Homo-oligomer: A and B are copies of this chain.
Amino acid sequence: MSDRSFTYIGTRPIRHDGVDKVTGRASYGADLSMPGMLQGVVLRSPHAHARIVSIDTSEAEAMPGVKAIVTGKDFPVTRAKLPLGEAALDIHDISENAIARTKVLYDGHTVAAVAATTVEAAQAAAARIKVVYEPLPPVMSIDRAIAADAPILHEDMTTKGVPGSKAPTNVAARMEVKRGDLEKGFAEADIVLEREFRTVMVHQGYIEPHACVARFGEDGRAIVWCSTQGPFAVRDQCAAILGIDAALVKVIPSEICGGFGGKIVVYLEPLAMALARKAQRPVKMVMGRDEVFRASGPTSGTKIRMKLGAKRDGTLVAASASLYYEAGAYRGSPAGAGMMCLLAPYRVANFLVEAFDVVVNKPRVAAYRAPGSPMAAFAIESVIDDVARELRMDPIDFRLKNAMQEGDQTAYGPAYGPIGLKTLLEQARRHPHWSAPLGPNQGRGFACGFWFNGGMNSSATVTLNMDGSAAVVTGNPDIGGTRAAQALMVAEELGIAVERVRPIVGDTDISGMTDLTGGSRVCFATGMAVIEAARDVRSQLIAKAAKIWNVDPAAVTWEAGKAIPPPGTDKAQPLSVAEIAARFAHTGGPIIGRASLYAPMAGPGFGGHICDLEVDRETGVSKVVRYTAFQDVGKAVHPSYVEGQIQGGVVQGIGWALNEEYIYDANGILQNASFLDYRMPVASDLPMIEAVIVEVANPLHPYGVRGVGEVPIVPPLAAVANAMRAATGVRFTVLPLSPPRVLAALTTETRETVTA
């Protein structure tokens, strides 16, 4: 596995898409123009919660340049569900989220869309659409949503997972995992700590706003160009929302500048398609940043009650937790994932973790990097920090004592194969950062994090040219290195220079069916398909070499990019890929390799982060001054990308911990829908993030690969909070640790509370 020697895997070639991206030639969602193209804009709800009494578009339709207007009435009601791996997308909710029907459920909820010859004309027309609303009281917090007298978002909602639950409620689901005897477990504990944690909605903050161009032919065939993580998912969602045959829809993924889970569900695409169909002209739609904040993303705000019990020697014996996750306006928060991740790093004999999916009058949440896991880790890693402190144990030693290892059964079900948690904890403890001196007002925190890493459907095609160069086509938009990783894999299997492999992100017509770029699945699952397709090419090369030599293919071996004749074959010399390819015409034709597979969820990933934070006690401003992230990646295919993924995840986690938050007023109107008022960290806010790659091979992948991209966002919330605790003596249980909150806490001399 990881100790096998590779020629190309693990090297750092210049990325194939690099020059196009740094020169600005790469085409993103808003970069396509078509002849006769119209511009589409969205009319959004100014209310957080209201009934739509009437919509009158007649005056708007008469405005100059206006070619089409659509409202909820232009879309069928559907109960379709689309498979997404083992889960399913509820098209009803995605459809109503894309355009409201009888009610608007959050500030910014789409009510109508207008296509006109210019953006200005479309905006002017949208302003003349007369919508009569009957405002309803907004539900803006978990506590309000679960209160007995709460206003109700969906009159027909019952609580899934609670037998006998009756409508109406705002609690969409309750889930639990448990083991052992909780009461007995806590009774055995020498120390029990309990805390309640809160986080608020934060946005994925991708640089590129949602954007698309849709064209609808007279023959009913549609083309959608868009910035997406999953072209096949867009195709199927749009077809279901419009009630047309998905076979008529082709989705071309543009380059994508960030998604982090937020570009899986459709927003603009079905609107642009409906407008294009009505106007019979192509329609471009691009969100403004305010629209991105108001009506796309974000991830859940949460309330988590966490209780841990440990023996004096540091053994965890009992854990209980109640996780409440805001779903936004429609069911489907990542509460269940949070529940499953919470105890993933630790052996605890007795536990009960319950999770609640709660609807509120905020945008429907979307996936965000390791969805649900960071908030759960914030809770448990904070409490563990306090338990270790109470026991006067080194926090890493404490975690090592309780760390999961191969063979241990996860809280959520299966047993682990080989995992790198203990290895990375040992490396962290030995790392100079852990013992480096701290300056004044500085504190050091540590936290762990976990993500499952996904599998799902993947396909790949590898074609060989007559000059021995190759191309590899998959259906995964390149967010974090798809192209470079896949080219490396083909180069490795065929023994040709990585520069001579052209990695292609295919559209829904030219690539085999492939699930989205997300879940940290691409390098793992699609990578497996690429390797298998390249091996399919290699076996055909061997067959051709055997034909040239007139020998049995089974006797031909493959070494360092060459077919090797069996010993004693007369006059036969090893043949390179290019030498065999040059003889296509005389050996039965060209070569295409292909593979399709459904990869099971596999390759669990762990990280451990050390954070040094410095706090200005006069202003409450805190700054991360040093940060080291250790992560078991199985095998780093292109280490620069792996480091980049780790660094990016850490930075997003730091932003979440320190500054990012959705701020709503009393009426449920978002107050900070811009990058000026929604504070994300920028390069000057941060030190260099040191990424330490640990490689414990994943036996489920031919190279040992695990997913990388999601784990690194999990530990930072707690790592920062633990560093803050160390720097200030204050245990913060509410994020973000923004200057006003920190200053208030330091001023009132709030101190930690310890339950016996």
User: Quick check: A18 and B592 within 8 Å, CB to CB?
Assistant: no
Q: Which of A18, A218, A236, A594 has the most CB of B within 10 A?
A: A594
Closest Cβ of chain B: how far from A604's Cβ, in Å? 20
Q: Which of B219, B246, B466 has a CB less than 8 Å from the CB of A465?
A: B246
Instruction: Taking A458-B589, A514-B590 as given, write out 12 further A-B residue pairs in contact, using a Cβ cutoff of 8 Å, ordered by the A residue number.
Output: A19-B218, A232-B465, A246-B465, A247-B467, A457-B590, A459-B590, A461-B594, A465-B508, A473-B509, A585-B598, A588-B596, A592-B596
User: Quick check: B585 and A85 within 8 Å, CB to CB?
Assistant: yes
The segment from A256-264, A306-314, A497-505, A680-688 that touches chain B is A497-505
- Chain B contacts for A582, CB-based, 8 A: 83
A555 at the interface (CB under 8 A from B): no
A584 at the interface (CB under 8 A from B): yes
A-B contact pairs, 10 of them (CB 8 A): A19-B219, A236-B467, A245-B467, A250-B502, A461-B592, A588-B597, A588-B598, A590-B596, A592-B594, A594-B594
A435 at the interface (CB under 8 A from B): no
Q: Which of A25, A509, A540 has the most CB of B within 10 A?
A: A509
Q: Main SS of the interface on chain A? A: mixed
Q: Which of B23, B467, B469, B510 has a CB less than 8 Å from the CB of A504?
A: B510
Contact with B along A20-36 (1 / 0, CB 8 A): 10010100000000010
- Chain B contacts for A596, CB-based, 8 A: 540, 588-592
* Distance, CA A512 to CA B471, complexed state (A): 9
- Chain B contacts for A147, CB-based, 8 A: none
Closest Cβ of chain B: how far from A658's Cβ, in Å? 38
- Chain B contacts for A219, CB-based, 8 A: 14, 18-19
- Chain B contacts for A587, CB-based, 8 A: 598
Query: Interface size (A, Cβ < 8 Å)?
Result: 63
A506 at the interface (CB under 8 A from B): yes
- Chain B contacts for A473, CB-based, 8 A: 509-510
Q: Which of B469, B592, B598 has a CB less than 8 Å from the CB of A247?
A: B469
A221 at the interface (CB under 8 A from B): yes
User: Quick check: A509 and B513 within 8 Å, CB to CB?
Assistant: no
A721 at the interface (CB under 8 A from B): no
User: Quick check: B589 and A217 within 8 Å, CB to CB?
Assistant: no
* Distance, CA A512 to CA B540, complexed state (A): 14
User: Quick check: B499 and A585 within 8 Å, CB to CB?
Assistant: no
A448 at the interface (CB under 8 A from B): no
- Chain B contacts for A25, CB-based, 8 A: 35, 217
Residue of B nearest to A597 (CB): B589
Contact with B along A206-224 (1 / 0, CB 8 A): 0000000000011101000
A613 at the interface (CB under 8 A from B): no
User: Quick check: A513 and B247 within 8 Å, CB to CB?
Assistant: no
- Chain B contacts for A19, CB-based, 8 A: 217-219, 221
A511 at the interface (CB under 8 A from B): yes
- Chain B contacts for A584, CB-based, 8 A: 457, 513, 598
Closest Cβ of chain B: how far from A393's Cβ, in Å? 45
- Chain B contacts for A500, CB-based, 8 A: 245, 247
With A18-B219, A598-B589 as known contacts, state yes or no: A510 contacts B506, CB within 8 Å.
yes
- Chain B contacts for A588, CB-based, 8 A: 596-598
Q: Which of B499, B506, B513 has a CB less than 8 Å from the CB of A466?
A: B513
* Distance, CA A514 to CA B218, complexed state (A): 32
Closest Cβ of chain B: how far from A30's Cβ, in Å? 13
Residue of B nearest to A500 (CB): B247
Closest Cβ of chain B: how far from A36's Cβ, in Å? 9
Closest Cβ of chain B: how far from A503's Cβ, in Å? 9
A665 at the interface (CB under 8 A from B): no
A:170-222 near B, CB below 8 Å: 217-219, 221
Closest Cβ of chain B: how far from A434's Cβ, in Å? 41
- Chain B contacts for A727, CB-based, 8 A: none
A:13-65 near B, CB below 8 Å: 14, 18-20, 23, 25, 35
A618 at the interface (CB under 8 A from B): no
A:448-488 near B, CB below 8 Å: 456-459, 461, 463-467, 469, 471, 473
A339 at the interface (CB under 8 A from B): no
Q: Which of A250, A459, A587 has the most CB of B within 10 A?
A: A459
Closest Cβ of chain B: how far from A413's Cβ, in Å? 18
- Chain B contacts for A514, CB-based, 8 A: 590
A:548-594 near B, CB below 8 Å: 582, 584-594
**Which 7 residue pairs across A and B have the least CB separation, nearest first?**
A247-B469, A589-B598, A513-B590, A512-B592, A589-B597, A19-B219, A592-B594
- Chain B contacts for A464, CB-based, 8 A: 513
Closest Cβ of chain B: how far from A18's Cβ, in Å? 7
A156 at the interface (CB under 8 A from B): no
Residue of B nearest to A525 (CB): B589
Closest Cβ of chain B: how far from A535's Cβ, in Å? 14
- Chain B contacts for A456, CB-based, 8 A: 585
* Distance, CA A590 to CA B506, complexed state (A): 15
User: Quick check: A585 and B20 within 8 Å, CB to CB?
Assistant: no
User: Quick check: B463 and A590 within 8 Å, CB to CB?
Assistant: no
Residue of B nearest to A595 (CB): B592
Q: Which of A18, A232, A464, A511 has the most CB of B within 10 A?
A: A511
